Structure 1
Amino acid sequence: MGSGRARLVTFLSGFCLKNNNCHLTHTTNLDLGLTSFCRRFSKNRPHLHKLIQSTMDASEYSASSHVGPVKMKINSPEFHSLFTPGLLQVKQLFQQNNHQLCFAGGAVRDLLMGDTPKDIDFATTATPEEMIAMFKREDIRMINEGGVSHGTVTCRVHEENFEITTLRIDRITDGRHAIVEFTKDWYLDASRRDLTINSIFLDLQGNVIDFFNGIEDLKSRKVRFVGDASTRIKEDYLRILRYFRFFGRIANDDASFDQDAIAAIKAGGEGLLGISGPRIWMEMSKILRGNYIAKILRQMNHCDVLQYIGFPKEVDIDSLEVIYNKTKHLNVNHMTYTSALLPTEQDVLRLEERVQFSRIERKTSLFIILYRDKIKLDDPKRLKFCQDILIDIPPHEGCHRDFLMEVLKYIGDFETMQQLQDWKIPKFPVNGKMLRDAGVPKGKTVGIIMKSLKEMWKESDFLLSPSELLEQIPKLLESVE
């Protein structure tokens, strides 16, 4: 039986078992069984008809290819730069042991977009046990052995790590995790991936293997799920956020959201409630660091996604869009855009409880919310107000200049931001020992006098000298008494 037809039979048999409403037997009249089945079920199942058709199309690839349909060949400098001594040794080892090895996922996507990949993943027909035995024979070190149960073996060659994963299919999924089964079928592995642009393989000769038209989607800047969007989402609800993240990564000004994807996201968004906070925030923080943030968050809000991941039910997307349009040319902290969706400090703490973001992320957002309404663009003394904020923060709490810069970006005060960027924070010239030497009694009086002197120093634009400040102590002591 042709490999495409074999895949189709495997899929249809699984479909029958899952739905418990049909039967397909491996009879001698297999063609009749397939034809009858397709006629019966594709009529009312457009998504199934598409999948059957794509499967049969995929079976037509060139007999010269052992992996899949070769859509193009890459011969770029970025591609050749990947072939380090370590990779050449790994390539030779897999060839000697008759195992197929390809670049997979993001590395292929980056190369097709003309970029040099930062993270490189590999897929192979070798099982984890075969890889482990092969590396042991060659005395090659292996690390991160926790991934073996999911098919991933990481070897270290010439001081480089190579993460290699066995082709697999997801046998059982619960919306968060999957029980996998290993396979040697590249189509089956591609079909369980999330997006068409992430389902492309590239063999080590430069042949691009594309079962689901990911290349065309990349060219047209389109983000689509592989096969039926609802099915992909139900396998792992985090794919909802991955959809939006990759939209921000590959879209251009003319790109629009895939309506099949949006409909599936609206229907399945509540599934995000079952995803752990750290996994949510890992994806969400990347969205907030990407492109088209306002457009994406507006669509996410329209699909009710934001409330499922910890944001308030009512958010001000219009204000966020104003802030984003003013600052998208700047290097903006992702918590600045996050804060635009959080009306109060309590909203920050509730989001933190849900997604467990870092202490510095919490402090950034709380700082923005505290000061965003206190700095007024029409106040001629706003630079002095910002300087006083920095002076009043104790040194042991760290430099809050970066926090304050984010507030100024938030409100669009780029003039004060530039002035403050070049300002060197002066050090208050009086300390406790100087006060005691000047006759200030120990105890709370020291703190009272110190605070009063600091206010005088600030009012002088930080110009009063230590001696000029200490001269004020007698008058201050009288007022305290």
Structure 2
Amino acid sequence: MTAAAPAPLRLDPADQAWMKDPATRAVMDALEAARPGASRYVGGCIRNALLGKPVADVDIATRLLPEQVIEAARAAGLKPVPTGLRHGTISIISDGRPFEVTTLRRDVETDGRRALVAFTQDWNEDARRRDFRLNALYADRNGTIFDPTGGLADLDPCRFVFVGSAENRIREDYLRTLRLFRFEAWYGAGAPDREGVEAAARLKQGLHALSAERVWSELKKLLAAPDPGPAIAVMAEHGILSEILGVNGNLRILGGIINQDISAGLEPDPLLRFAALVGGGPERIRIMAAKLKMSNAESQRLQGAVDPSLCGEVEAAFTDMAAAERAIMSLGARAFEDQVRLSAAGDVAPPPRDWTLLAKFAREWQQPDFPVSGGDLILLGYEPGPMLGDAMDALKAHWIAERFEPTREELIARLKH
């Protein structure tokens, strides 16, 4: 008697909030009405559901052509947006949220950055063009899992294995090197796939073919993982980090910041972690910011975190709250907190005062209003211009040094003398 084949793995829609969400069901209903059985959930939503992780984005793969997806959405009263029409992707807006619906496809030509695709009706062809086996999982609306590439074998322990040849997948899109380490940082358990890491190391120069914006976006996502330290360490060991940044990074200080986040229950801060990783002063940060095309706000935040002008005051703040106030007034609360955390993370011995107390002090500190205005100086005979500005700066520095205690009258009297 032949043994019965094992039942296919299945996600129970009743247990998956994202599957029973009315917005999701409305999209799938529209696609099913156009062609029953032609559409499946795919990628990260299936991966995260199987790993017990939150599902943020729901992507759908379909045998419907893009024009048919648009027609199906409109027929159901939903809004289609051709966000990636050339590559077969239509975003369907349901309950104000986008659901990416992409026609099954295969790569015709790739150049390491973008691909020319052709549409197909073959689920296996669509799976073979994806990056990792865990991202090539599909599920129908009833939750039955389809695994064309063997991704289920990568669930326990969780690791990210390229579909087919790791080298071929990376040559198709060099961003997959960074995606490998980003996924490992977020979900991986144990050592990453050796073949994938070795291929990434051999092809690391291909990262220069990517736009700076794409690289910076992936780095931020990687650094936002709860503990990206092990993944970053592998990147450093294989020269991938230095290929991107020009430096191999300070893993000790990065580890200190990560430990602070974990011990204090803080949300990961990718910018502060980046400052810890790259080290150096404002000039290095300016070079990094230009190289990665950071926003002005990001660049300014990072430069404040490494501004050396008040290093002494920041160090003194661990024993002297007056120094803390002076540093906050000069640097700003955000930069002061960043510098306190970086200083504590770099100390071999515990600092004299717990960094969490100084960070809390910075967040709660209310800056007093400087009691003297430019108009006061003009009444004293100063002409608007550089001399007035210099006088104001000197007066303010004195006021900060005296812990904001001098009154308006005392400051003006000092200026008169």
1:169–1:416 Cα change, 3 Å: same
Partner of 2:270: 334
- One-letter code aligned to 1:442: E
For each residue in 1:112-153, what CA deviation from the matched residue of structure 2 results, as whole angstroms up to 9, or x when unmatched? 12344211110011111332344455565321x241110112
Question: Contact 1:102–1:204 at 8 Å: present in 2 too?
Answer: yes
Distance, in Å, in 2 between the alignment partners of 1:130 and 1:95 is: 12
Paired letter, 1:316: N
Q: Which moved more, 1:340-349 or 1:322-331?
A: 322-331
Cα distance 1:104–1:366, how it changes in 2: closer, same or farther (>3 A)? same
* Residue in structure 2 matched with residue 279 of structure 1 by the alignment: 214
Q: In the aligned structure 2, how far is the partner of 1:229 from the partner of 1:106?
A: 19
- Measured against aligned partners, the alpha-carbon deviations of 1:263-310 in whole angstroms (never above 9, x if no partner) come to 11111111101111111111111111113322222211122212332x
Q: Verify the 8 A CA contact 1:212 1:226 in the aligned structure 2.
A: yes
Between Structure 1 and Structure 2, whose CA radius of gyration is higher?
1
Instruction: Tell me the secondary structure at the aligned position of residue 72 of structure 1.
Output: coil
SS at match of 2:9: strand
Residue 318 of structure 1: aligned partner: 252
Question: What secondary structure, in the 3-state scheme, does the structure 2 residue paired with 1:219 have?
Answer: coil
Aligned in 2, Cα 1:467/1:313: closer, same or farther, shift over 3 Å?
closer
Q: Which runs of 5+ in 2 are unaligned?
A: 345-354
Q: Aligned-pair distance for 1:380? A: 5.8
Tell me the C-alpha RMSD between the 2 structures.
2.7
Identity of aligned residues (%): 25
Deviation string for 1:36-65 (max 9, x for gaps)? Answer: xxxxxxxxxxxxxxxxxxxxxxxxx98xxx
Deviation at 1:260, TM superposition (A): 1.0
Structure 1: give runs of 5+ residues left out of the alignment. Answer: 1-60, 63-68, 394-399, 476-481
Seen in structure 2, the aligned counterparts of structure 1 residues 382 and 76 have a Cα distance that, compared at 3 Å, is farther
Matching residue of 2:182: 245
SS in 2 for 1:357: coil
1:408 aligns with 2:340: yes
TM-score by length of 2: 0.86
Alpha-carbon deviation of 1:431?
A: 1.3
TM-score normalised by length of structure 1: 0.75
Q: Deviations over 1:338-376 (max 9, x none)?
A: 223142333222222222111111112111221484455
> Bigger shift: 81-90 or 330-339?
81-90
Aligned to 1:83: 20
Aligned to 1:105: 43
- Alpha carbons of 1:137 and 1:464: their partners in 2 closer, same or farther (altered >3 Å)? closer
Find the partner of 1:305 among 237, 240, 248: 240
- State whether residues 78 and 114 of structure 1, in contact with CA within 8 Å, keep that contact through their aligned partners in structure 2: no
Aligned counterpart for 1:464 among listed residues 390, 402, 406: 406
Question: Where does residue 442 of structure 1 map in the other structure?
Answer: 383
Q: Secondary structure at the match of 2:107?
A: strand
Q: Secondary structure at the match of 1:180?
A: strand
Q: Secondary structure at the match of 1:142?
A: strand
* Contact 2:27-2:73 within 8 A present in 1 as well: no
Q: How does 1:198-209 map to 2 (within 5 A)?
A: 198-209=135-146
**Who is 1:358 aligned against?**
295
Kept after mapping to 2: 8 A contact 1:457/1:463: yes
Are the structure 2 counterparts of residues 454 and 171 from structure 1 closer, same or farther at C-alpha, using a change threshold of 3 Å? same
CA contact (8 A) 2:314 2:323 kept: no
Shift of 1:384: 2.8
2:199 aligns with 264
C-alpha spacing 1:175/1:108, structure 2 compared with 1 (3 Å): same
CA 1:134–1:474 in structure 2 vs 1: closer, same or farther (change >3 Å)?
closer
* Aligned length, in residue pairs: 398
Residue identity in the other structure for 1:406: D
